[in-house]
Amino acid sequence: MREHLRDTFWFAPTAAMVLIFVLWTGASALDAAIVRLLQEHQNLAEIDELIRIVNDIKPVVSTVSSAMMTFIGVVFSISLVAVQMASGQFTPRVVRIFVRSRITKLTFAVFLSTFTLSLLVLTSFESEAEARHVTTVPIVQSVLTLLMVALSLFLFIAYVNSTLRLMRVGHVVDRITGECLRVLDRMPRGDFDEALGPERGRIGYVGQSGVLRDVNIARLVRAAKAQGVVLRLLPRIGDFVVPGTPLLSVHGSGQGDGPTRSALRYTVMVGVERTFHQDLAFGLRQLCDIALRALSHAINDPTTAVLCLDRIVQLLTVLANRPLGAVGHPDGRGEIRLVQDVPSWADLVDLAFAEIRLCAVGSPQVTRRIMAGLDDLLRIAPGERRQPLLRQRELLAQAVMLAVPEAERAFALEPDRQGIG
């Protein structure tokens, strides 16, 4: 549910407007209580002073109510153009950064809340100016509106800064890398190598076609424990599934049946695009997409590709000594009930370098950075993980030998962490 709501743009503004309505109700009741208290104590001069203050504030509130919606439209129209430019320059996947941005949703929510509050406050102004007969003076509501306006201005500055950062490739790449590292911190270690029991059946996927975004591990573990079996998730996170696709295999030697359809409800989430939540390879995929677009003939920006390779090497360095492969999820007693496959080391190395290597043959800046990155990883990776790196190094050398003049081959294959500086 949290991941679903983060991918929507309606929840935060709607919740904020409901909250501001509740806040306005409380402020309105407080204003009425203040007036009643002053009338009971015959402090009519204080009531007159409050009326004078709110009459001075009323034009400001009226201006805010009429201008805020126009302000919202102009700001977000310009922002959508900036996001479109960023997606065209980098990759369409960066749009998800804008959609999931907390500052974006907070700004939009506060803007709409300020507009809603200003309209509600205007309904509290009374035409009655006699201190003895007035029922409410919206002084608390007016002050609250001014505070919301001030908050809107501060958030506007933060929002503009965030949007401008989205247009800078360095910040986009850093954001992707940071999210990928957080996924690595949350994911369990893929060191499950036990033999499962005999396969007793398979459970097909039922639902709409789409990308497998994540699974409810706790619910699957409970369903397997209730039947005394072990479940294995057949597709990997990020795979495209259609109705009927084998989703789970049931293993075990007991007499219990596999989980029922009702027990497996809400255990998988399928959407139109991948998400970082449980997808180990999605960060590398985005970095490769940005690098590939930068190396295209239409853009021809090898420096951006080198920037992406810096982060790719960083992620692979973190993964170099991490157990990868099948992940076993235990129940409360420590018995494995769910097995989930994650990309292997060879899969991640191929994802990181294969496509970039094919597009970078004519760019010595990128080939030199790839060679330096592979050399760094070869020094870090354990012996059993050197072969995929050596394979990529050999394939790059062969491609350069075939495509680059002999006089420039040594230069193109010389390791350099900055490419050509």
Q: What is the pLDDT of residues 5-18, one digit of tens each?
A: 777 888 889 999 99
Q: What is the pLDDT of residues 374-384, one digit of tens each?
A: 999 999 999 99
Q: What is the pLDDT of residues 280-320, one digit of tens each?
A: 899 999 999 999 999 988 888 999 999 999 999 999 999 99
Give the pLDDT score at 259.
78
Q: What is the pLDDT of residues 150-166, one digit of tens each?
A: 999 999 999 888 888 87
CB 283, CB 183: distance < 8 Å? yes
Residue type, 270: V
**Short-list 189, 177, 157, CA closest to 312:** 177
Q: Tell whether the model's pLDDT for residue 230 goes beyond 80.
A: yes
CB 104, CB 50: distance < 8 Å? no
Question: Any idea which of 79-88, 175-184, 272-281 has the lowest mean pLDDT?
Answer: 79-88
Q: Which residues contact 162 (CB under 8 A, 6 or more apart)?
A: 101, 103, 104
Give the pLDDT score at 254.
59
Cα–Cα distance for residue pair 314/192, rounded to 1 Å: 25
Where residue 17 falls (left for φ over 0; alpha for ψ -120 to 50; beta otherwise) is alpha
CB 357, CB 368: distance < 8 Å? no
Entry pTM: 0.82
Convert 184-223 to b/e letters by CB count within 10 Å (16 or more is b): eeebeebebeeebeeebeebebeeeeebbbbbebebbbbb
What is the average per-residue pLDDT within 316-329?
A: 90
Cα–Cα distance for residue pair 141/58, rounded to 1 Å: 11
Instruction: Band the pLDDT of 399: cuts 50, 70, 90.
Output: very high
